[in-house]
Amino acid sequence: MNFIKDTLKQVDLKEDTLYDIIYKLFFLAKIKDSEADIENGKVCTLEELEIYIKRLEEMNDGSSDIG
């Protein structure tokens, strides 16, 4: 709950839209989750990520909507 309060204290009510506020809450929550994952050793190497992406591509017949 303190995380939400601290984040909302950073909101500029004159400039930020509801979308901006929700985005900041989501983005900062994900950063916090990532920091916890790193501290707990829940990480992967770039090589492991590359293998994971290749497996996903194979499962999707190599087709991709990305660039």
Q: What is the mean pLDDT of each run of 10 residues along the chain (67 residues)?
A: 79 87 90 92 93 93 60
**In terms of Cα–Cα distance, which of 40, 44, 4, 38 is closest to 24?**
4
**Is 49 contained in some domain?**
yes
Provide the pLDDT for residue 24. Answer: 87
Q: Compute how many other C-beta atoms are within 10 angstroms of the C-beta atom of residue 38.
A: 10
Q: Of 38, 42, 10, whose CA–CA distance to 24 is shortest?
A: 10
pTM: 0.54
The pLDDT of residue 54 is 94
Domain that holds residue 32: 2-59
Within a domain: 66: no
Cβ contact 1:25 at 8 Å: no
Look at residue 64 in the predicted model and tell me its pLDDT: 56
Q: Token pair 């601290």 is at which residue?
A: 6
Look at the chain and report how many structural domains it folds into: 1
CA angle 65, 21, 17 (to 5 degrees): 90
